[in-house]
Chains A and B, each alone.
Chain A
């Protein structure tokens, strides 16, 4: 029971790290970034490379997010910035193009096989928590996700950058009239989202095989989280990630054959009945 809960929470943290980036990118850029899963994958591959070269997992935790943040900034400036005034379909197509190109680049550099990295020594093993033995790495994953989530929350709620972000989500033209270059803010947001995705990819690397296409499965779950939470709503994304993570973990344990079907049924019902998301309230504020 406790073990299942811990696994559910760790899935929720991964989903939150990815969905948070996806949802702030949508809120700020108006772009639904299908390439988000590819940035997660690239983060995983860079982590593998850093660990293979240096043997230092902690270094990869720093290098992969920063490298992917820089890559994301470049992608935004070169490929998305020229499209903001055009139809949403063209932006969608562009993010699809980014998936195809980055998948191909990764295949060329690292090949089609899968890669893995060992659990860092200090985080291997299991410790007893209540009635179960729980993998230490799962606890680390939850802790790292919590720290990143709280950091993101603090950034958005308590810094001037966060004030600008929240302002620009609803009235970008007015933010420009206050002397703040909104195009730079968009680049920062895209880089931040890409960095969070790469952080998720790095944290996942000791647990799952790192391979081309790994971003696809998880991105579908992330879109479910973003839709359940309400597009552009970070607090909603936290709640929806917890919900989906726990459903996945407990479903796997108790009714594995129903889990996919019921998830997508819930998604469809929410889209038809509450398209604004389960956790967006007309009077409530979006953060």
Chain B
């Protein structure tokens, strides 16, 4: 049974680009170029894509925060524009934001305030908030002002707010971003538990590992278009017959990936740069291992310091690189 359906959703934003103090130029940004998908009851559906792909725009349209320019969408059978009130009753939304709380209220008071705006019975709200704070390991900080919360604590509180009225359909925008590995693991466990309870979940992420282990189905979205849709295994089968090697190097030379890309038998090359070190990873998707010596020859001739080369199982990242010729994310 379909719980969420989007048909040919389009959204254009008009942005103003400033030139000097008074001059400005309007520019059209096509955030969604007609995307369609359907999500079944009890399914975890992932929207995977780089920043600016249109993931958050999609969630905002489905959660009634944005009006589409064209197309239609239904949540639990209710039209997101014409029956927005009905949609808001049944959804819980966690939007990625490092703000969004009243800093002079405690974590508990913030949740209680939103519980009241959702018209929850105060007795139910108290029990529900206690339960959520417990499972998110925030109980001991419940009475601290939010201004004292770390980014991770605010992310968890944001997650708790989305679940406060125990919604049947949950939209999670980058639910683990900014969290330490333990907290991220905890959130993923809760998401799995929510699925066991029969909740329908739409989550956006640019973390391929997260999408791979959590989602029943994934739509890979890039530049406002869904470029692939299927289960993680179905998507990975796109590159299954190919060989993938990962080369860990120090530093990077301009034009290196282009040189590798020109080698006969190389299908795609992706560069994954690490922000906090000089280490970089190059992923090469190729027809066979015969290409490897030529890749190594280029690395040697360019005097690149290679730390390791290994053959890897195809991942969603490789699918993305294969489909778009671009890298999906920076290493976290």
A binds B: no
